[in-house]
């Protein structure tokens, strides 16, 4: 089958791929193709489930804060450009013990970047938000500028903008199974149905398929796939988004959790950030309830801390694609071939800024300074 060629090719129309395509559209790029194995927005990647948190005082490391601040600016810009409500500024409270490294890093990030952060004891947090039942063993660090992103609405918004650009072609139902270098430079993507697409410069942001695709070029990427669960529950008026913030909760006994207030009547949403079941790329995920712990591990947090949360409405599954250190993997392993992955668990909030940076890298060959720390060389240096 004859290959179709463009200047830029993006493999994966998830959050990062579509964000990059959107910025290429705004930059005036004239020959771009975006491929996806499905039809975004869909539930086969890591961008479904209605909402994601955006936090600025970052417990995962202060190196992310500048990127988070840039992302917030870009989310607000996207709202202005589209006239759509994409960001709900409900605030986020980070909860844990005084000794929690996560809480300590949240506070250190706030000090370093002069971010607004209110510290509360557990009792004070429970009075502030009566939906919590906390004791003096926990502290809260509240970010008033943080909130919830409406993830599926955002992905759909990006898709519509990209499809409206005559210089960008979004090709769905195109599962790429092989990458190969072209003799004249650039790379060719081969789809399962035999279609071929080539380009001078390629961005691969294909989630669980990233590592298998790069292996066809004899490039090994340290990415693992994990099944995760989250669910929505009935909840009383205390959990309405005007009365209750988003949250992250580190419980030294029960694990690491995140959650959202009741937004638009969807119910109270909670998920577990740690644990999960390892999966191979392409391996089917058991539905919610397929493992005995799916509901039990969410219920244990509700019963301990959230007295007004009631019956399960519905649960869902998703996947994390992670690196060994859980930081992102963004690199150019071969000239003209950019890879972006390992975002799951905390990546979506940065997608607006990462899309901008990846688009500039793809178009101009220049890496943004804030991406330099995410290269794969760090794994060789650590012996992983």
Q: What is the pLDDT along the chain (384 residues), one digit of tens a residue?
A: 677 889 999 999 999 999 999 999 999 888 999 999 887 765 666 656 789 999 999 999 999 999 999 999 999 999 999 999 999 999 999 999 999 999 999 999 999 999 999 999 999 999 999 999 999 999 999 999 999 999 999 999 999 999 999 999 999 999 999 999 999 899 999 999 999 999 999 999 999 999 999 999 999 999 999 999 999 999 999 999 999 999 999 999 999 999 999 999 999 999 999 999 999 988 999 999 999 999 999 999 999 999 999 999 999 999 999 999 999 999 999 999 999 999 988 899 999 999 999 999 999 998 998 899 999 999 986 555
Assigned domain for 54 exists: no
7 is catalytic: no
Of 191, 318, 322, 323, the catalytic one is 318
Assigned domain for 64 exists: no
Tally the domains of the chain. Answer: 2
90 is catalytic: no
CB-side neighbour CA atoms (13 Å) of 304:
16
Assigned domain for 86 exists: no
**Do residues 19 and 165 both lie within one domain?**
yes
Assigned domain for 68 exists: no
Assigned domain for 300 exists: yes
CB-side neighbour CA atoms (13 Å) of 329:
28
Assigned domain for 189 exists: yes
Which of these three, 299, 322, 345, is where a domain ends? 322
228 is catalytic: no
Domain with 121 in it: what CATH number? 3.30.9.10
318 is catalytic: yes
**Do residues 304 and 167 both lie within one domain?**
no
Of 269, 322, 346, 376, the catalytic one is 269
The residue range of the domain holding 317 is 92-144+224-322
Q: Report yes or no: 269 and 76 within 8 Å, Cβ to Cβ.
A: no
**Do residues 336 and 209 both lie within one domain?**
yes
Of 6, 8, 33, 51, the catalytic one is 51
CA gap 138, 158 in Å, rounded: 40
Which of these three, 322, 343, 364, is where a domain ends? 322
CA gap 1, 7 in Å, rounded: 19
**Do residues 162 and 27 both lie within one domain?**
yes
**Do residues 301 and 337 both lie within one domain?**
no
**Do residues 251 and 369 both lie within one domain?**
no
**Do residues 172 and 133 both lie within one domain?**
no
**Do residues 163 and 137 both lie within one domain?**
no
**Do residues 281 and 363 both lie within one domain?**
no
Sign of CA dihedral 230, 305, 240, 235: positive
Of 52, 55, 74, 201, the catalytic one is 52
**Do residues 240 and 366 both lie within one domain?**
no
Domain with 163 in it: what CATH number? 3.50.50.60
**Do residues 191 and 156 both lie within one domain?**
yes
**Do residues 215 and 330 both lie within one domain?**
yes
């Amino acid at each position: 089958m004859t290959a179709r060629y463009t200047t830029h090719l993006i493999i994966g129309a998830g959050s990062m791929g579509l964000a990059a395509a959107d910025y290429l559209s705004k930059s005036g790029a004239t020959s771009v193709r975006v491929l996806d194995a499905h039809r975004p927005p869909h539930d086969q990647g890591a961008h479904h489930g209605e909402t994601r948190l955006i936090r600025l005082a970052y417990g995962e490391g202060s190196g992310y804060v500048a990127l988070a601040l840039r992302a917030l600016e870009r989310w607000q810009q996207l709202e202005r450009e589209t006239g759509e409500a994409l960001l709900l500024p409900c605030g986020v409270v980070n909860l844990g013990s005084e000794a929690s490294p996560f809480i300590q890093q949240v506070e250190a990030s706030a000090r370093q970047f002069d971010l607004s952060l209110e510290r509360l004891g557990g009792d004070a947090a429970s009075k502030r938000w009566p939906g919590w039942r906390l004791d003096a063993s926990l502290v809260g660090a509240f970010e008033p500028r943080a909130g919830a992103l409406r993830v599926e609405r955002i992905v759909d918004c990006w898709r519509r903008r990209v499809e409206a650009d005559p210089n960008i072609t979004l090709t769905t139902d195109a599962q790429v199974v092989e990458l190969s270098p072209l003799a004249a430079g650039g790379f060719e993507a081969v789809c399962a149905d035999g279609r071929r697409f080539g380009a001078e410069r390629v961005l691969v942001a294909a989630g669980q398929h990233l590592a298998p695709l790069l292996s066809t070029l004899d490039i090994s990427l340290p990415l693992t796939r994990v099944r995760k669960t989250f669910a929505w529950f009935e909840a009383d008026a205390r959990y309405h988004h005007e009365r209750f913030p988003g949250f992250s909760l580190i419980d030294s006994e029960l694990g690491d959790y995140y959650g959202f207030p009741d937004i638009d009547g969807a119910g109270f949403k909670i998920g577990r950030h740690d644990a999960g079941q390892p999966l191979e790329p392409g391996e089917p995920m058991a539905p919610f309830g397929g493992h005995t712990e799916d509901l039990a591990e969410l219920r244990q947090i509700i019963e301990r801390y959230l007295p007004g949360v009631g019956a399960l409405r519905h649960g869902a599954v998703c996947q994390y694609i992670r690196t060994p250190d859980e930081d992102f993997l963004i690199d150019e392993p071969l000239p003209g071939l950019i890879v972006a992955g390992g975002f799951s668990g905390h990546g979506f909030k940065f997608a607006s800024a990462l899309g901008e940076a990846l688009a500039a890298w793809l178009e101009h060959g220049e890496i943004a300074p804030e991406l330099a720390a995410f290269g794969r060389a760090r794994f060789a240096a650590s012996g992983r």
